[in-house]
Amino acid sequence: MNVLVANLGSTSFKYRLYALDGGSARLLARGGFERVTDYGAVIDQAMGELAAAGHKQIDAVGFKTVLGGDITGCLFADESVEKALLDTADLAPAHNPPYAAGIRTFRERLPAVPRVALFETAFYQWVAPAAHRYAVPEAWYKAGIRRYGFHGASHKFMAERSAELLGREDIAAAARNLYLHGPAKNTGAPLRVISCHLGGSSSVTAIRDGVAVATSMGLSPQSGLPQNNRVGDLDSAALPCAMRRLGLTVEEAERQLAKESGLLGLSGVGNDLRDIKAAADRGDARARLAIDALVYSIRHYIGAFWVQLGGCDALVFTAGISENNPWLREAVCENLAALGLELDPAANAAAAPETDLAGKTSRTKILVIPANEELVVARETARLVAARRTNPK
């Protein structure tokens, strides 16, 4: 089955075409466009590029959709999904409208080809109420004010791959089939993983037996760790307070929280960690503060999830910041020997993908696993389409 994965940003369109056969997946083609103003035009161009390269067969199109409120999981992207994306666009304004437009365009261009939406919130649909409820009035909860969690495709891949690397094929298989069959009962020893997706947008997720039990992100991608230019966690009283004291409108306050906060707001340098680290190394105090605040927040969630899981068998680092910065992993893992986690400095410096970076006496594995969200979308799309073919009802 050939699955085209469409990744749509506010001004970008990227794609990957996979050939899936049973449990294997092969990347056939990839491409992308920046500064997009007309999704129909670039989608037509992408289809032309694929056809010119001999890739004319597309059996399904998968989308890494972000937030649909009560609509979540891995499901066929019909007009109800488009509506759900637009209805919740106030919480994900940079993501939801482009995905709604992309799904609609593919429906028009390839009406006979199945379209599948894998929501970023899907991995968290089994999180217990105590972990996803806010302490707000019941009417707020019924209006959709709750923790949803994001980066689900990335953390799901970490659940699968970490279990494989730790020799727990039973857990890996359960994680791979999670969206088709739901959580599987584990009859063996528990597998407790803390996954750190650290990139332009970052989150930490606690995973037990291949299933998410808690996450740092909440109602929107604004929450959790300090993001590149998004605020992260913030006291609910801060917004009205800033509006009163600075004379801000709601719209301007929201814009500043989404565009001028996070690492950018703290550092005053920019939102790229490479630039911030260079400035910190030159003695820039605000840049050092931004790094320290990021590390503090990561460690805060690791500690909280360590307690919730009752221990940790593997601490996993993934995404660009995690994968490319040994100094950040060292800072996150500092002085955790009392918890049974010790980093091997030489292994960390080498950072060979999918190797254990833990010291010999560490009770917890430390893994760097390259992110592969598109592969997860392709696999889940293929599974859903194959399931419908087997059982059309």
Q: Look at residue 89 and give its three-state secondary structure.
A: coil
- Please check if 14 is assigned to a binding site: yes
Mean pLDDT of 193-198: 98
- Domains defined along the chain, listed by start: 2-119 (3.30.420.40), 169-368 (3.30.420.40)
- Residue-wise pLDDT tens digits, 307-366: 999 999 999 999 999 999 999 999 999 999 999 999 999 999 998 889 999 999 999 999
Lowest-confidence region among 16-30, 110-124, 162-176, 288-302: 16-30
- Please check if 273 is assigned to a binding site: yes
- Please check if 274 is assigned to a binding site: yes
Structure tokens that stand for 37 in this block = 């103003």
Mean pLDDT of 159-170: 96
For residue 374, pLDDT over 70 is answered with yes
- Residue-wise pLDDT tens digits, 58-92: 999 999 999 999 999 999 999 999 999 999 999 99
For residue 393, pLDDT over 80 is answered with no
Mean pLDDT of 228-246: 96
Helices (H), ranges, the chain:
39-52, 79-87, 96-109, 129-132, 138-142, 152-165, 169-176, 178-181, 238-246, 250-259, 262-267, 273-281, 285-309, 320-324, 326-333, 345-350, 373-390
The structure's pTM equals 0.94
> Which class for 13: exposed (0-12), middle (13-18), buried (19 or more C-beta within 10 A)?
buried
Q: For residue 392, what pLDDT band results from cuts at 50, 70 and 90?
A: low
How far is residue 337's CA from residue 329's CA, in Å, rounded to a whole number? 15
How far is residue 294's CA from residue 332's CA, in Å, rounded to a whole number? 9
List C-alpha distances in Å: 194 to 43, 154, 381: 37, 13, 26
Q: Look at residue 242 and give its three-state secondary structure.
A: helix
- pLDDT for 12: 83
Cα 125 to chain center, whole Å? 14
Backbone angles phi, psi at 261, to 5 degrees: -110, -150
**Cα distance between the two ends of the chain:** 21
> Which class for 52: exposed (0-12), middle (13-18), buried (19 or more C-beta within 10 A)?
exposed
Mean pLDDT of 5-22: 89
How far is residue 137's CA from residue 122's CA, in Å, rounded to a whole number? 25
Mean pLDDT of 108-123: 95
Mean pLDDT of 42-57: 93
How far is residue 221's CA from residue 66's CA, in Å, rounded to a whole number? 9
- pLDDT for 388: 82
* Edge-to-edge order in the sheet of strand 192-197: 211-215, 203-208, 192-197, 314-318, 365-368
- pLDDT for 180: 87
For residue 11, pLDDT over 70 is answered with yes
Q: Hey, what's the torsion of the CAs at 332, 334, 340, 341, to 10 degrees?
A: 50
Half-sphere exposure of 16 (CA within 13 A, CB side): 17
- Residue-wise pLDDT tens digits, 132-149: 999 999 999 999 999 999
